[in-house]
Amino acid sequence: MLADEYLNNLQELEFKYKKKKTLYNLQFERATCCTTSYSSQPKAPQRDPFAQERRLAKLNDMEREVKKSYEEVEKMQEDLERLLQEFTDADAMTAIHCKHISHFTISSIEKEIHCSRSTVYRLLDKGYAELDRILAEKDAA
């Protein structure tokens, strides 16, 4: 597996987690803000008395999915951190960590490492090459 594939998988997992978390938050808000209204008018025959319970059960399922997705992202980030420990260049390691684990922008990485934008890109390229090397060694073993 190449570094691009590995980091794209991580990015895809993070995207799925964020999407699930957003959907969960919307459903939670919808389920908890709705209150039963009482009226002197007779209830419509199509009204479902168990709709609220089903929404809450669905929320519980969604919450489990969100937690599972978060755990997958966390596990892959921990794996990436273990791989970063094998780097020989500390600045390249810091650049990759800032970019893919801490989600810094390039300008934030510039400030973190105290270097120019072109140096950050060079360090990222060097880090990707080193990550390719480490992943190739892992695959060969």
Give the residue extent of every domain in the chain: 1-30+76-141
Summarize pLDDT for 20-31 with one digit per residue, the tens. 999 888 888 877
Mean pLDDT score across all residues of the chain:
86
Whether residue 11 has pLDDT greater than 60:
yes
91, 123 in Cβ contact below 8 A? yes
Kindly report the CATH number that applies to the domain delimited by 1-30+76-141. 1.10.10
Summarize pLDDT for 71-109 with one digit per residue, the tens. 999 999 999 999 999 999 999 999 999 999 999 999 999
Question: In residues, how long is the chain?
Answer: 141
24-57 b/e with 16+ CB inside 10 Å = b?
beebeeebeeeeeeeeeeeeeeeeeeeeeeeeee
Helix (H, G, I), strand (E, B) or coil at 69: helix
Nearest residue to 121 (alpha-carbon basis) of 135, 106, 141 = 106
